[in-house]
Amino acid sequence: MLGPPGAGKGTQAVRLARIWSIPHISTGAILREAVKAETPLGLEVKAIIESGGLIDDAAITRIVCERLLQPDARAGFLLDGFPRTVAQAESLDRFMQDREPLIIIEIVLSEEEVLHRLAARMICSECGINAQDESEDPRCHDCGGRLVPRADDQEAVVRKRLEVYRKQTEPLVAHYGGRPTFCRVDGAQLVDEVTADIVKAVEAAASGQKGR
């Protein structure tokens, strides 16, 4: 899943993983767990995450590919937050050579809408999951942890993240755009509508591949 910060990738990934019964593999969650545990990797990435930067390509690729080798990912998986650069995408392509073709979803959202959404976004202080959209409950719907603003959702940090996204991540659209499995969805719709559009797009892309 591609898209700028605040496009709803995490929210949609959780929903879609439940619909298709496949693991939702979030690089953000993997890294936040390391930060919370104060591992050497966690201490290293904490400052990078809070400043809006991106983790080294080789390190994040190694982490993700190790996760994709686990048994629960054999029948499929949903990647959230990876790849973010063309170098990561090329490594993932090599890893996927003997598996089913990747289906790529780009969730499109304007910069103005990104800033509006992230200004109000909350995250669980315990498990790191985003709060449910438009929920007024001060507790996480998954684990009951306290909801807090994300450190990387401050406006100055968000603008830097958008700049990083444009420079490093948008080229992925050019990398994947010519593939029959590349799909684009309007992220400014209601959450249910975005989910429905993604399901339709993925089903159409998968059917097209089976017919080849």
What residues act catalytically? 9, 84, 121, 150, 161
Phi (first) and psi of residue 69, to 5 degrees: -85, -10
Both tokens of residue 95?
């890893």
Q: DSSP letter at 145? A: P
Asked, as a colleague might, if the bond just before 83 is cis with ω within 30 of 0, I would say: yes
State whether the Cα torsion 26-29-30-32 is positive or negative. positive
Distance CA 111, CA 28 (A): 21
- Work out the burial of residue 9: count CB atoms within 10 Å of its CB; fewer than 13 is exposed, 13-18 middle, 19 or more buried: buried
What pairing do the DSSP bridges indicate for beta strands 104-108 and 182-186?
parallel
Distance CA 3, CA 16 (A): 16
